[in-house]
Structure 1
Amino acid sequence: MGRNTRKRRTPLATKAIAASAALALGGGGLIWANFYASAHEKAPDNRTKRNVSQVVTIYCPDVGQQLRNVPDRARGEVDGELASMDQQITDAYQRLVTTRRAQAGDANFVQNSILGPLKDRRKVLLDRIKLQINRAGGKAPGDLDRLARCTGRPAGGQNGGGQNDGQNGGGQNDGGQNGGGQNGGGQPDDNGNGVAGPVADDFIKIEDVQPNSRNLPNGLPANGDSGSTGTFTTDCGTNENNLFNSDNLIAAPGVGNGAHHVHDYVGNQDNDAFSSDQDLANADTSCQNQGDKSTYYWPVLRLQDGTEEFDANDEGGGAEGNIGRILKPAQAELKFVGNKQGDVVAMPKFLRIITGDAKSFVNGTANANTSWSCTGFEDRQSTDKYPLCPEGSQVVRTSNFQSCWDGQNIDSANHRDHMAFVQADGSCPNGFQAIPQLQVKLVYDIPTPAIENGQVQNPYAVDSFPEQLHKPITDHNDFINVMDEQLMNEVVECINTGRDCT
């Protein structure tokens, strides 16, 4: 498998991982140490795993989502500090999973040695963020310090976090020592091959998903049989050029490995953390229509079959628990559609949209937008489990993007507020206007994993931040519009006149 070889600067914040990632490697990636993997194996003080070492991940409040009024000239610095916070969580999580023996012997180890120091380090960065906002003429929220504290999450919890700064998501004991195993059953917090997820409970037979039961408020199709009914489909391939990196130009511009997981890229071929708008405009594109230099990217899927990928020892890859064979989609359909209520207007050039939430396992589902299904069963959409497809059926990932724009901004401080999802009737919130909705459909040929004795064999999983445990709810998708004016006008005309164009 190829890799992105563009030379990139590496900020100091991303170098810290090298030391913490100097752990045992095997099977194509980082081995997340799993002492006392059996619920009946005795720890040094004769307690069982059921009662010790049960913090399986770390919940930290998402600071970026709380920052709504960051002056433009402070955004670069603030985004850099937020990326440093993500690095701190990664380092703390790696310490969590490699100190199980110490945790077993000391009920206060997690709090005293991991969560307490993490809080102190986050407080330093929060102070810097406040200073940067105030220096740029803004007014930082006065209660940012409350976001410094992180909690340990025991196994079995999902979609908790988010609402009360972790008070309901990670346990008030700060150590999670009383948490049960997976779903309270004492199941180890890995899938049997040494990495933290997915586990058997993260999968479901597609036949067991009820039709039309998608349970998230986001990601509704904007189009229907009224309003603007046309479509525009752009063919940009399936990453035949093997363009991969673990950057995120939207959320962490200027920061190498800002995503802590690897992305597939189609469309724009000059996309990394250091790409300027001018770089994007001057780049080559994999799209058949050369007027479309937009960038479309999403976290890769991997098959955890022991394959050692090109990034097995790299940040964002095996060094952060993203292991196994990268699976490129067999089909990537990129379609722009209209709005049930009426015409759409042109997107501004360089408009940025993030859909879904890469941290929704701990943040909760407020921004989640996941749809997992199988070909032939696409009326059955799973949001929090990976589908097990029957023979002859393929795995499908679908993302319906936000398609209501505030009419002014190509981005916002938290990378969300300038966009909104359509409501059930297709209408936009007050002050927003309808733009073409991007619908991304990715189809994969994946061997169906087998579940035996409560463990999943050779699972597939989406790349994720380490502490997100490869949960399917963390799937997300990203887009930057770099269509030229002529093409964008053609897209709008096709949609508003009810034509299907390519």
Structure 2
Amino acid sequence: MGRNTRKRRTPLATKIVAGAAALAVGGGGLVWANFYASAHEDHGGHNRTRSAGAQVATIDCPDVGQKIRDVPDRARGEVDGELATMDSQITNAYQRLATTRRAQAGDSQFVQNSILGPLKDRRKAIIDRIQLEINRAGGKADDNLDELAGCQGRPADQQNGGGQNGGGQNGGGQNGDGQNGDGQNGDGQNGDDNGNGVAGPVADDFVDINDVQPNSRNSRNGLAANGDGGSTGTFATDCGVNENNLFNSDNLIAAPGVDNGAHHTHDYVGNQDNDAFSSDEDLANADTSCQNQGDKSTYYWPVLRLQDGTQEFDANDQGGGAEGNIGKILKPAQAELKFVGSQQGDVVAMPKFLRIITGDAKSFTNGDANANTSWSCSGFEDRQVTDKYPLCPEGSQVLRTTNFQSCWDGQNIDSANHRDHMAFVQEDGSCPEGFQAIPQLQVRLAYDIPTPTVENGQVQNPYAVDSFPEQLHKPITDHNDFINVMDEDLMNEVVDCINRGEDCQ
């Protein structure tokens, strides 16, 4: 497969992480050690209890980006860059956690003294800079941000996935963690890594779709915005399934100007000039994969991969194999993009270049407050899960459905934490006070994926969403991104169609 080859700069922090990750590269890709430490380790024919420090599965850091408010416009770029550096610091610390299992086994304070303590100091320095940048730009930085500097190590049985179906509570700690230990060499390559050296997904991340109760998913995030009493029309846009092989590990919304800001690879449909360095002018002048050439919007989501040993184009790259995202990239067989209306009345036009992020790429450590992807199987659409990958019967496709926030504050195309300018509808389908209804984007992706085999607490040939390394490929971390780049005439057509109650495309 191809990649986005646009020339771009690489921040120093990214280079540092790349150098650290390269230490573990071998055989065409990064071999991440198993982070699910067993309670005991076999040495010389006898067991000895391992130290508490060796049981740390991942690193959990407060999400500073979601806590920041009221950043002056002229400081937004600098603050986003600093937040991206903090993400790189976590990736670097997580990689050190992965490659120091022997040291952790011999020293119960190793993780705290050698990983978490230095990480806190580095994060404190970044927070200080963020506060300074906000104040210099005429804002008033939150003096309590320093409280977010410290991170903690989470044992395998204490992750914070928090999904509705229990997968986040066990976090993979039940199945196989104590059976295989950390590998023959103590470096963690034969435990819950499915034999491929990558931490996650694990058997507990999957569920047979037949075992999911119908209509049990919590729809607090307003999965269906339209209804009989409001604007009932729809507008579909066909933008393909990334036939042009546009991939990169950037995130123009959350980390503009930062190479590898996502630390995982995205599929892109629609706008063909989306990378971290794309300006609004670049987006407006770009080609589009959408059949309606008036739609230059960019729609993107983390790729799904089949962990089958395939060496993809990014097997040795940051965002790909160098950060634990390995295997064959699976393009959707079908990508349905549809805009719908409001239960309570008419919708208004989206402003051009409106940015929306839905879901949370860090839900495994942040908790599920912003989790918003629904997983299911074709033929079983009434059975939806957020924190599990479905095991679908033969002939059934894996479905990934995401319905975006549909209430806009009427003023801003983005916000400091990339969320506050948007909101979900309330229980009665109305928007919160101060917000107005816009067309709701609904994305439905269908995949032809061979069903993984789960036996004896292990999963063979699993599929998984690309993720930040420390998020362990959990399904609850799935997310979706959108930038509106429709021309004015098309956006007006979308609004008119929805408000008239028609189905258009």
Matched, 1:262 2:254: no
The question of whether the paired residues in 1 share the 8 Å contact of 2:308 and 2:461 is answered with yes
**One-letter code aligned to 1:133:** I
Whether the 8 Å contact between 1:180 and 1:186 is mirrored in structure 2 is no
The offset of 1:24, in angstroms, is: 3.9
3-state SS of 1:16 partner: helix
- The CA distance in 2 between the partners of 1:77 and 1:214, in whole Å, is 39
**Per-residue Cα deviation, 1:464-493 (whole angstroms, up to 9, x for no partner):** 000000000000000000000000000000
Q: Which moved more, 1:453-462 or 1:4-13?
A: 4-13
Q: Does 1:437 align with 2:433?
A: no
* 2:426 is the counterpart of 1:386: no
For 2:109, the equivalent position in structure 1 comes to: 108
Map Cα deviations across residues 1-34 of structure 1 (whole Å, 9 max, x no partner).
Answer: 1111111111112111222112344565311124
> How far has the Cα of 1:268 moved from its partner?
0.1
SS at match of 1:53: helix
Query: How far did residue 371 of structure 1 move?
Result: 0.3
Alignment partner of 1:323 is 2:326: yes
For the residues of structure 1 that align with 2:94 and 2:43, how far apart are their CA atoms?
21
Deviation at 1:181, TM superposition (A): 4.0
CA displacement, residues 409-441 of structure 1 (integer Å, 9 cap, x when unaligned): 000000000000012221100010000000000
Summarize the Cα distance change of 1:222–1:105 in structure 2 as closer, same or farther, 3 Å threshold: same
Q: Which residue in the other structure is 2:410 paired with? A: 407
TM-score where L is the length of structure 2: 0.93
Summarize the Cα distance change of 1:37–1:430 in structure 2 as closer, same or farther, 3 Å threshold.
Answer: closer
Q: Who is 2:89 aligned against?
A: 88
Task: Report the counterpart of residue 74 of structure 1 in structure 2.
Answer: 75
**Residue among 208, 213, 217 paired with 2:211:** 208
- How has the CA–CA distance of structure 1 residues 192 and 217 changed in structure 2, closer, same or farther, with 3 Å as cutoff? farther
Distance in structure 2 (CA, Å) of the matches to 1:439 and 1:36: 36
Task: Tell me what 1:287 maps to.
Answer: 290
The question of whether the paired residues in 2 share the 8 Å contact of 1:54 and 1:180 is answered with no
The 8 Å contact of residues 294 and 479 in structure 1, kept in 2 or not, is answered as yes
2:6 corresponds to: 6
Query: Residue type of the partner of 1:154?
Result: P
Secondary structure of 1:41's aligned partner: strand
How far does residue 370 in structure 1 lie from its aligned partner after superposition? 1.6
Deviation at 1:184, TM superposition (A): 9.6
2:59 touches 2:152 (CA, 8 Å); kept in 1? yes
Partner of 1:483: 486
Write the deviation string for residues 122-181 of structure 1: whole angstroms up to 9, x where unpaired: 0100000000000000000011110000000000234369xxxxxxx99xxxxxxxx994
For residues 120 and 107 of structure 2, the distance between their equivalents in structure 1, rounded to whole angstroms, comes to 20
Partner of 1:137 in structure 2? 138
SS at match of 1:47: strand
Q: 1:99 corresponds to which residue?
A: 100
* Residue 308 (structure 2) aligned to one of 270, 294, 305: 305
Q: Secondary structure at the match of 2:480?
A: strand
The answer to whether the 8 Å contact 1:27/1:308 transfers is: no
Q: 1:36, 1:269 → 2: CA distance?
A: 40
Q: What does residue 461 of structure 1 align with?
A: 464
Residue 32 (structure 1) aligns with: 32
Asked if structure 2 preserves the Cα contact closer than 8 Å seen for 1:54 and 1:155, the reply is: yes
Task: Please give the alpha-carbon distance, in whole angstroms, between the structure 2 residues aligned to 1:35 and 1:298.
Answer: 26
Is the alpha carbon distance of 1:204 and 1:236 closer, same or farther for their aligned partners in structure 2, counting shifts above 3 Å?
same
Structure 1 residue 41: Cα displacement: 3.4
What residue is the counterpart of 2:428 in the other structure?
425
Whether 2:342 is the aligned partner of 1:350: answer no
Q: Is contact 1:28-1:323 (8 Å) kept?
A: no
One-letter amino acid of the structure 1 residue matched with residue 60 of structure 2: Y
Larger deviation, residues 181-190 vs 333-342: 181-190
Pairing partner for 1:395 from 388, 394, 398: 398
**Pairing 1:273–2:276 present:** yes
Q: Partners in 1 of 2:81 and 2:208 — Cα distance?
A: 41
Q: Report the AA paired with residue 371 of structure 2.
A: A
Distance 1:409 1:144, change over 3 A: same
2:143 counterpart SS class: coil
Is 188-197 or 487-496 further displaced after alignment?
A: 188-197
Match of 2:178 in 1: 186
**Partner Cα separation in structure 2 for residue 449 and residue 50 of structure 1:** 34
Task: Please state how far the C-alpha of 1:37 moved relative to its aligned partner.
Answer: 6.7
- How many residues align? The count is 488
Q: Output aligned runs, 1:331-342, within 5 Å.
A: 331-342=334-345
Secondary structure of 2:22's partner? coil
Are the structure 2 counterparts of residues 180 and 418 from structure 1 closer, same or farther at C-alpha, using a change threshold of 3 Å?
Answer: closer
Tell me the residue number matched to 2:54: 53
Unaligned runs of 5+ in 1: 162-168, 171-178
Paired with 1:227 and 1:218, the residues of 2 have a C-alpha distance of: 18
* Distance in 1 separating the partners of 2:319 and 2:25: 15
Aligned equivalent of 2:502: 499
Q: C-alpha root-mean-square deviation of aligned residues, in Å?
A: 2.1
CA distance in 2, matches of 1:63, 1:329: 33
Q: Work out the CA distance in 1 between the residues paired with 2:446 and 2:395.
A: 13
Cα deviation for residue 52 of structure 1 reads 5.6
Separation (CA, whole Å) in 2 of partners of 1:10 and 1:52: 34
* 1:118 match: 119
Query: What secondary structure is seen at the aligned counterpart in 2 of 1:21?
Result: helix
Identify the range of structure 1 (83-92 vs 190-199) with the bigger mean alpha-carbon deviation.
190-199
What does 1:210-225 correspond to in 2, within 5 Å? 210-215=213-218, 217-225=220-228
Alignment check: 8 A CA contact 1:182 1:189 kept: no
Q: Aligned partners of 1:224 and 1:145: how far apart in 2?
A: 45
**Deviation of 1:228 (Å):** 0.4
Contact 1:154–1:180 (8 Å) recurs in 2: no
Task: Report Cα offsets for 1:262-290 as digits up to 9, x if no partner.
Answer: 00000000000000000000000000000
> Residue 389 of structure 2 contacts residue 475 of structure 2 at CA under 8 Å; is this kept in 1?
yes
Deviates more, 1:236-245 or 1:415-424: 415-424
CA–CA separation in structure 2 for the residues paired with 1:24 and 1:260: 16
Q: Quick check: 1:269–1:285 contact (8 Å CA) kept in 2?
A: yes
CA–CA distance in 2 between the matches of 1:244 and 1:110? 35
CA distance in 1, matches of 2:161, 2:364: 8
Change (3 A) 1:96 1:185: closer
CA contact (8 A) 2:226 2:232 kept: yes
